Amino acid sequence: MRYISTRGAAPALAFDDVLLAGLARDGGLYVPETWPRFSADDIRALRGLTYAELAVRVMAPFVGPAVAERDFAALVEDAYAGFNHAAVAPMVQLDANDWLMELFHGPTLAFKDYALQLVGRLFDHVLAAKAERITIVGATSGDTGSAAIEACRDREAIDIFILHPKGRVSEVQRRQMTSVLSPNVFNIAVEGSFDDCQDLVKAMFGDERFRDQVNLSAVNSINWARIMAQIVYYAFAATALGAPDRALSFAVPTGNFGNVFAGYAARAMGFPIERLVVGSNRNDILDRFFKTGAMETRAVVPTLSPSMDIQISSNFERLLFDLFDRDGAALGAQIAEFRQTGRFDVTDNQLGHARAGFDSHRLDDDETVAEIARIHDETGHTVDPHTAIGIASGRAHRGDPSVPMVALATAHPAKFADAVEQATGERPTLPNQLADLYDRPERCIDLPNDLATIQNYVLTHARRAREVA
């Protein structure tokens, strides 16, 4: 399998190079040259497999031959062995045909562990083979950072720097990052928003000299390997609920569009996915896009679902690439216009294609709290604010009641205990693995929203930069 850039001007790469590159050199995102197809019989053959077994089958066409099959299977097995539920991604039934897939059984209690636990191991494996060291720089609105740190801590070939918007992540999220004291982990609290952090990271990738000095890499959701690993739970849910003979729909609380794009990929591969419902909070650029065809940024407002407090969804470019019939030059021109003016419009035809595959919905904070309370009262389940937005969005676009609707539970309720307590009157408790989180010491540096200052900090601390200096 080879990968091409959404801007059309970077060389096509194999899986191992795409893994290490993150963003393409032309500023685009890598996507597979073609989607591997699973026939009805291929899908039937997935029934009854464990999560890890199914994961190997679903991802194999994307990886091979960059990682030997047997090595890959061992990495996958190891990645999910530490999860705190034997099913890895269990489903609970909320109503006659409404399901919740719990994606919070990894070490940091958010769905991002499902990809990053594997991606960290893949990095190690590929870097060991190349005898290289890299520097990972990432921006987080909360959950990516801790999941990335947990995936990379203490790894010999990796130093990791995570930028988060100071004061705009929950205390649990912050402590999950800053309480990791491993010498290869650097937390930076930036005086700015998540989009500022993301812009800083993009600017570092745009600086070729810096990029080469530190051997820069990314684990945020622009990295193709994360999307790939997320396709697995869509396939797992589909197979469990009767695919290929029965279709299903998903409702996905969405920020950077990485999670729901994996659902789009699963559908492109042949899994019978009817609707993909995008749930947003008040930062609703995606909801407005699907309603009007206009992509228009507004200021980010803080909400009770901070992992979705995003106005520019990086992975949306992967969908746009298809809406532009994979014309990277045309897409690049639109993105440049968007960067300059904060707006662009797709054609009616393109909007029609987008709507054929996606529905969207948005909730403000009051509606989110009401939804957490409703779910608690009616089903006895406690869900976090992101998950509640997914469930409500799925209900808003329920469609054919005979088609199962699976909402993705993207975080454990205890990660957002204040909002959950406000809604239900009960404070959810952290699982045992994190019970002493509030007693752990923290390490973090505050830096201004200034590219040169942050690059300098990275250059001073990254082992790779010190080695080549």
Ligand X SMILES: *Cc1c(COP(=O)(O)O)cnc(C)c1O
Of 16, 102, 113, 143, which one interacts with ligand X (CB under 6 A)? 143
Of 7, 105, 166, 386, which one interacts with ligand X (CB under 6 A)? 386
| Residue 11 C-beta: closest distance to ligand X, Å | 27
Q: What is the DSSP letter of 453?
A: H
Instruction: Please report which helix (H) or strand (E) contains residue 102, including its range.
Output: strand 98-102
Task: Judge whether 292 and 344 are in contact, CB under 8 Å.
Answer: no
Q: Which stretch binds ligand X (CB under 6 A): 191-199, 256-264, 337-345, 363-371?
A: 256-264
**How many residues make contact with ligand X (CB under 6 A)?**
17
Residue 256 is a binding residue for ligand X (CB under 6 A)? yes
The set of catalytic residues is 112
Per-residue binding string, ligand X, 402-441, x by CB under 6 A, is --------xx------------------------------
Contacts of 204 (CB under 8 A, 6+ apart): 137, 210, 211, 216, 451, 454, 455, 458
Per-residue binding string, ligand X, 297-336, x by CB under 6 A, is ----------xx----------------------------
Torsional sign, CA 155, 313, 388, 268 = negative
Decide the pairing of beta strands 13-14 and 2-5.
antiparallel
Other Cβ atoms less than 10 A from the Cβ of 371: the count is 22
Torsional sign, CA 218, 288, 252, 324 = negative
Q: In residues, how long is the chain?
A: 469
| Residue 273 C-beta: closest distance to ligand X, Å | 16
Residue 255 is a binding residue for ligand X (CB under 6 A)? yes
Amino acid identity, position 405: M
Per-residue binding string, ligand X, 76-115, x by CB under 6 A, is ----------------------------------x-x---
Residue 145 is a binding residue for ligand X (CB under 6 A)? no
Of 27, 192, 253, 413, which one interacts with ligand X (CB under 6 A)? 253
Q: Which stretch binds ligand X (CB under 6 A): 36-44, 77-85, 180-188, 255-263?
A: 255-263
Taking CA atoms, 347 is separated from 264, 289, 294, 326, 351, in Å, by: 21, 12, 9, 15, 6
- The residue whose two tokens read 């100071």 is 166
Residue 173 is a binding residue for ligand X (CB under 6 A)? no
213 or 281: whose CB is closer to ligand X?
Answer: 281
Per-residue binding string, ligand X, 205-244, x by CB under 6 A, is ----------------x-----------------------
Of 258, 263, 270, 332, which one interacts with ligand X (CB under 6 A)? 258
Taking CA atoms, 287 is separated from 163, 296, 356, in Å, by: 27, 11, 14
Q: Name the β-bridge partners of 13.
A: 3
Q: What is the rounded CA–CA span in Å between residue 135 and residue 210? A: 11
Other Cβ atoms less than 10 A from the Cβ of 429: the count is 11
214 or 434: whose CB is closer to ligand X?
Answer: 434
Per-residue binding string, ligand X, 264-303, x by CB under 6 A, is ----------------------------------------
Positions that interact with ligand X (CB under 6 A): 110, 112, 143-144, 221, 253-259, 307-308, 386, 410-411
